[in-house]
A and B are shown apart, each in its own frame.
Chain A
């Protein structure tokens, strides 16, 4: 058993796979740099992220996987799930060790686990596409903050770019402290320092119509409810409470 320490990046993970094959390792555990290793026996190794190695692994994967399969693998990585028997690494090794496509072999534990994780990540992606609420600032930019369970901003980028092609927008992940900014041409990754910018100042920067549309939306949300059909359990299953603080109609 070897414990591999890596930097948490996708390239780092691919480099780890490269090292596994270079050193012909058997069972491995994957941990973040600086994490505490509890194993009494077995060796340790630090993975130094290397773009060239990562590229070679990626090339190998794109030869053996369908493009959809590769996308699923990336989505699983974005889950940031820290399992020692890392399912993404296990999946990649299984791909390289088999001579036929294994993407649909749900009998294999890594394929199954990756498919479970992908389902969770995609659900979160879909939730973000649904629950993001923009507020219009007086310079015409539409601004939204989110706190997704998984790191899904890279996955929702295209959806929002296609949909809101004619407006400037910002989607900011306050948990991971970075965001997407679209300037009507392209999307950039941005980070803000809220300590130096006065966060409360933002409120005074709202467009003059913003208040009335929020009010109308809340009114609308109340009017469409049919009291005779009340079903709180179902409501909570669809809109879990942790999302409420960023939902205009729930404030």
Chain B
């Protein structure tokens, strides 16, 4: 192995791949039942970068040579950067050796497009196949599928990978047209539709034949860049919701645009990464997937943007004060989940524990409820509840005043002692 060359390649191709935000290694159920190496059933973050993001997979590009010229991408054709390409064998060896040392959960492989879609996709599939068949590797494999690749290759990819994804890139068709004129939204939707049907078909066949080979057990996901184009949060979330519903996506990722180009179609190089907005979008995404919220309850014509100061659940609650207060000891789980300060785990605990006796503030606190927020919205077996008839705006002020979130744009003034 040529040490210097491989180090250089890794730094170029890891650097180019890092803007893909997905790091999930969970959701698969691949077991190590062939006496080989690894399993993919856990979802572990092995380390965290200095920006606090999880590092779970070896996330690299096969190559950063690309025939496309998308304005938001570092690997775009017109960008003057160093180019490199791994061989199939190099990727296989890196993956196996990192995995054996417990550095990673598996491989996240993407690629710039060289020659054409099929040519590129064929190589990605070959790597996955080699890992699975020659090395009995059962770790997690996430393949980025290349828009426009043939159905046969997509199908083969599904046989070896745990998760497949096609990047949507921009939340709307217009956004994509503006920044990536060579790309076509339909080329992205076609493979998504194909995968969705294959996944359904696999489920049907599995019912009949237990021996049906696994097909992308962790499903498919997609990603869009936020803040590069002028879409509002409503457009973003409606799009996400559409992909969850229509394409059975496991996840939609939101990637805050990191300025990498002085192209005048894009925000300038000194713009900040919209991290708060990204965070609020993920919170809204969780509300849609786990908390039973409909997308138009979170964002609608009156509320096209999420409030950056407070989380979207609190935002919904103060717009819908007529729903509250609810009685913790009686209300449906569905309603308890809608209370700000109560999460999935504590909601389940509340419903389990109240069978044994009435719950009060102390109980709620010990179960992990953020009582400082929840207290405006619930009553429980304790006389010390909020009696004032507060408006939503007042509650927001109270909560913000005692909050020390790093996301606060306008910190409440603090008196200085000297």
Contact = CB atoms under 8 A, between A and B. Distances in A.
Contacts of A102: 356
A82 interface: no
B47 A130 contact: yes
Contacts of A249: 47, 103
Nearest to B58: A220
Interface in A91-147: 102, 104-108, 112, 126, 129-136, 142, 144
Interface string B35-52: 111110010111111111
Contacts of B357: 105, 107
B18 A223 contact: yes
Nearest to B40: A163
B101 A163 contact: no
A177 B352 CA distance: 41
A133 B363 contact: no
Nearest to A224: B18
A244 B342 CA distance: 33
Contact of B44 (A129, A142, A217, A234): A129
A142 B47 CA distance: 19
B316 to A, nearest CB: 26
B37 A164 contact: yes
Nearest to A108: B356
B103 A133 contact: yes
B356 A167 contact: no
A238 B45 contact: yes
Interface string A185-227: 0000000000000000000000001001101110111111111
A247 B49 CA distance: 13
A248 interface: yes
Contact size range, A: 35 or more
Contact size range, B: 35 or more
B258 interface: yes
A23 interface: no
A235 B48 contact: yes
A225 B363 CA distance: 41
Interface string A160-194: 00111111000000000000000000000000000
A166 to B, nearest CB: 5
Contact of A107 (B17, B19, B359): B359
Chief secondary structure at chain B's binding surface: loop
B100 A212 contact: no
Contact of B14 (A134, A159, A220, A228): A220
B259 A107 contact: no
B404 to A, nearest CB: 12
A216 B104 CA distance: 13
A219 B7 contact: yes
A132 B46 CA distance: 9
A63 B86 CA distance: 58
Contact of B356 (A105, A215, A231, A248): A105
B273 interface: yes
Given A144-B102, A220-B58, A162 B48 contact: no
A224 B49 contact: yes
A25 interface: no
B3 A212 contact: yes
A163 B17 CA distance: 27
A241 interface: no
Nearest to B11: A223
B281 to A, nearest CB: 15
Contacts of A107: 353, 356-357, 359, 363
Given A213-B98, A219-B7, A234-B51, 13 more contacts: A142-B101, A162-B32, A163-B39, A166-B136, A217-B103, A223-B10, A225-B50, A228-B258, A229-B51, A229-B258, A231-B51, A233-B52, A234-B52
24 contacts: A106-B352, A107-B357, A108-B356, A129-B44, A142-B100, A142-B101, A162-B31, A212-B1, A216-B7, A220-B14, A221-B47, A221-B49, A223-B10, A224-B18, A224-B49, A224-B55, A226-B51, A226-B273, A228-B259, A229-B52, A229-B53, A229-B256, A231-B51, A249-B103
Interface of A: 102, 104-108, 112, 126, 129-136, 142, 144, 159, 162-167, 209, 212-213, 215-217, 219-235, 237-239, 247-249
